[in-house]
Chains A and B, each alone.
Chain A
Amino acid sequence: MDFVNLILNLDRRIIYTIVALCIIFPLIKPLSLPVVPTPEVHGIFDEIDKLPVGSHVVISGDYDPASKPELQPMLDALLQHCFIKGLKPHVLTMWPAGPALLQQAVERQARIFKKESGRDYAFLGYKAGGFAVIVGMVGSIPGTFSTDFYGVPTNSMPIYQEVTRIADFSYIIDLAAGATVETWIVYAHQPTKVPMGASCTAVSAAAYYPYYQANQITGLAGGMKGTAEYETLVRLKYGKGGPGWQAIADQLGDPNFDIVPGDATKGMDAQSAVHIFIVIAIILANICYFIAMKREREERKRA
């Protein structure tokens, strides 16, 4: 079998093995490729960064473990950003398999930044109903969520003495693995005009550009790349050596405080290697395909 036929009839197990190696090696030995933030991700970061201390932010984590690698690091980065800035995030989900994932991120970041549930942040958990829940929150959050994830009545929480409905918030961000961004835009952003951002899986990012261009969302973080960009922005500003580092290190009383590259930034090297492999494989397969076609035509002419 010559090279052309070998490529065109390549066993799929060989492709699987190369893909696996492309993922494993960069994770073991990071290449530290540059992550350059795009204007879309700046649109979220800048909007949150300019909010005054004590502002409230809605973070809706509408995803499940299937989209964890793309969206969970974004939740971590957003919570880091909010806690560093002294903002008060209200975290909830419209997906039944989401609360446990959100709980892990919320409790992890609250522990690091020494924040207290019900006072510095709220974790509302899951509520069935989709758009009806959002419409309910536009009217009254304690009316829609009578208790938080831990069963504490929302009416008794100090955080809900400051805000009671969506219009009282300063920013909304939806981390979506499905089509919840549109629902948040239609039922929360449009009637209240509270600025909104979106973070979504890479596969659905293209669908949200019309909303971004129409300024219905201030920014868009698509897939693991968008998340890595957000992590980079937070790290550059508030990590060691960044302009905002000293203030947060003083506030936490920890001179060794630093923001390390998150999971999405670490995953970018592996994603780069796999993408490059797929592109090379497609080009190679096409070259071989055209050579095979040419040969076939010549053989037909000879016959």
Chain B
Amino acid sequence: MPRVNTVLGPIPTEELGLVAVHEHIGYGMPGSELDTRWWKSPEERYDETVPKLRQFHEYGGGTFVDATGICNGRDVNYYQSLSEKTGVHIVASTGFVGGDTALPFFARASVDYLAAHFIHEITVGIGTTGGRAGIIKVGVSRGGRMTDLDKRIYRAAAKAALATGVPVLTHLAIDAENAIAIFTEEGLPLDRVLFGHVDDGVNADKTRDTWIADQGGRIGFDTFGYETELPDPPFWARPRRQRLEHFLRFIGEGRLHQVLASADANCSPLGWPGVKGHTVNYIFEDLIPDLRAAGLDEAAITTIFMDNPASFLSITN
């Protein structure tokens, strides 16, 4: 029976519904918790988070994949409570957003130890929460190329993906040759990997998205909504039309079955200001209407937001 690990336990893939495949309940760099500038009370956090998930549910959203890595403020007990109270399935990650977010204990660890840690979080649970990870996060550190630590993490992720059947989700798809070399050496089929952030404003023109797709990788256009037209855009923003056209061009080349899309929004950012007005619900309020206006039919939208995530997320042994 195809299944996906959510924070409340495995669910049949059939229950996923529409998936926001790359989002965050809250994200912050490790150490940001020491800076009171970012502190908010629990009630403020709840107030910033629950209505967004409720709205997602009311729009017809089924599953929220939280791509927050181990040291970035991941809080599985909290995700369990949110999921129970809003009816939104939440998938949590093991792994690290990038080597530069892996604290020293993990930075010093061997590939085998990292793999063992990921496997434990997937098969036994995260910390004392009992919640099991449903995806393995990896990523490229700031600076443009994979560091040695990034490579160790990618290798450990590949081992864990093979051992457990859970897929890999990448933060950035730059320096993809190195990433693909590692996955290939480890024997991980590339359709178990979602190469993320191919569309972001800083990295899109350095990302070999078609080449990666030709190798068999899945492609994430997952920073929708971070637009330069916003009053206070982040540095990775991109003009709305430009991103949309990039996406349409990509799927127009016969790659509809390889793409996934999301907004990479924070419900309540933990260690950065966030972007006001940018939420997971961009998917329903802006993206899907834009795609319909561009001529995509319901079948295509279902493929992008339901079938492709189901195939990606299902535990595959």
**B and A form one assembly:** no
Where the two chains meet, the residues of A that have a C-beta atom closer than 8 Å to any C-beta of B are none
Binding site for A on B (CB under 8 A): none
